[in-house]
Structure 1
Amino acid sequence: MLKQRLITALILVPAVVALVLLAPTPTLALLLGLVVLIGAQEWARLSGFASPVGRSLFLVALTLLMVAAEWLRREGLSAPIFLAASLWWLLVLGLLWQRRHRQTTSQSGPSWPTALAGLLVLTPAWLAMVELHSREAGPGLLLFVLVMIWLADSGAYFAGRRFGKTKLAPGISPGKTWEGVQGAMVGLLLAGLLLSWWAPVPGNLAALLLLCLVSGLFSIVGDLFESLLKRRRGVKDSGRLLPGHGGVLDRIDSLTAALPLFLFGLNLLGAA
């Protein structure tokens, strides 16, 4: 398993870095849109849509929302989307906090609330990537967010393995611990220092550290939310496309929460 994970990562990471740094924004938007639609198929599965018709309708709905969101972005009207996404993730945080110790039972049959949640999660995340990339120093800034989440994940993984004792949400994801969260915070603070040194965005050091810390911690919320959906469907991974890593959603679940919040905070710093 570890060998598969390493091989997949060695292929994916250089490809993602090259895409972010070299591709023009329209090309990036199209390719990332295809990736998100692959993830949407997995979300439709987690929503209980077994038939091709149900999954196709979900993909059509998401595609139309992405087109509408991109039109709003081009018109300079995307800020409310990121505000709404930030409020959504606050609601998800409250839901997960209530269910953190409650054992999740498997569900059968279609779940329309889960499908609707997929539209609310995937559309702003895709739009945030496109919006970040389109800005001045945008490719580097988008790559920074990716690295920030990788640092948070790595900090959580190593701190959790070495010091993990206190379960974070045993009813949702038994492997995650509060010690892992503390490790993630260390990685996020390092990322904030990196951002302040690079300084492509407005704001003082405290504001940049807070931005990285909040958006990065919400990446854990995105991860836990997908874990909750998988437990409800009784599956370990969202898919099998990426050997050793599971599905596309298993790789982007953290980003779905972190990206819109980071961009919302970035907008606030720019307006300050």
Structure 2
Amino acid sequence: MRTGLLVLTAALTASVGLTACYPAKIMQYDRPDTRLVLDRVRAGEADRAQLADGRTVDLAQAVTAGELICSVRLEPACLSAAQVVRLETSEAPDTPLWVYVVAAPLTPIVLANEAMEGLDRALTGGPQTYSLGWAANSGNPCLPFVQRADGGAWPSDQKIRADLYRRRAELDGACLMQLGREYAIPVPARRRLHLTGQIRARFEAFACARPRPEAEADAPRVFAPLGRIHTEGREVGWPRELAGLLDDPATWATSPALTQACTGAGGVAPDPAPAMARAREAWPIPSTGPAA
């Protein structure tokens, strides 16, 4: 039975995979309708836009908030979709009809098999993978927080992610943002980790008793999700989530990571209010920010 399912799955995968030979459609829209602009941004297909004031902006990681388009790459962080007078996109190609003809009879069987395999992975943890990147990349911000197994053995990727997620209150903002890019974590949790990491990274940069100019210069300028990987191509209530995180006392806790970071800067400042105020400056949406 499993062999048959594997054959069917391979057939479906092959038929769909052949559509990868069709390149993305590069499209340009002059005076696009606001709805079209917002739809393309949500879908992660918007590349660049020319605005009414003549500026050209990068929308590759943008998200929507109502009629606004927001991104860590924009200055200011949010703009009205109505400002877009020209839009450049890379849109998914149309799937050839023959793919649907081939795939249709196999889809129920493959989906059922995928469901069973998903349950199996949930119960057993699935195959354990070991990425050299964790060990080899000294610039990985989560590396200092990885706990080795007895004898110094390197844990699997799954165990690293699970352990870091359980100990997320101990991590610094940079590591939280890294976890927020991990596709193995469900999208809502991924988005929350990223937003929390942005806040923490900016708070930590200003939270020591003495200034840390380099950390302050590297602190996130704006808080916003990173496009489709945090929204799945939908409108999500991330501004409300962000406001909730800014109002959560746990967001501003003095973590072990912050204590370590401030060791050479006079320790953690006894009054966190100034650092909290500096962090709140990165609220992206004009006129709707929570009170400092």
TM-score (norm 1): 0.26
**Greater relative contact order (CA < 8 Å, ≥ 6 in sequence):** 1
Larger radius of gyration: 2
Q: Which has the higher helix share?
A: 1
Bigger fraction of residues in strand:
2
TM-score (norm 2): 0.25
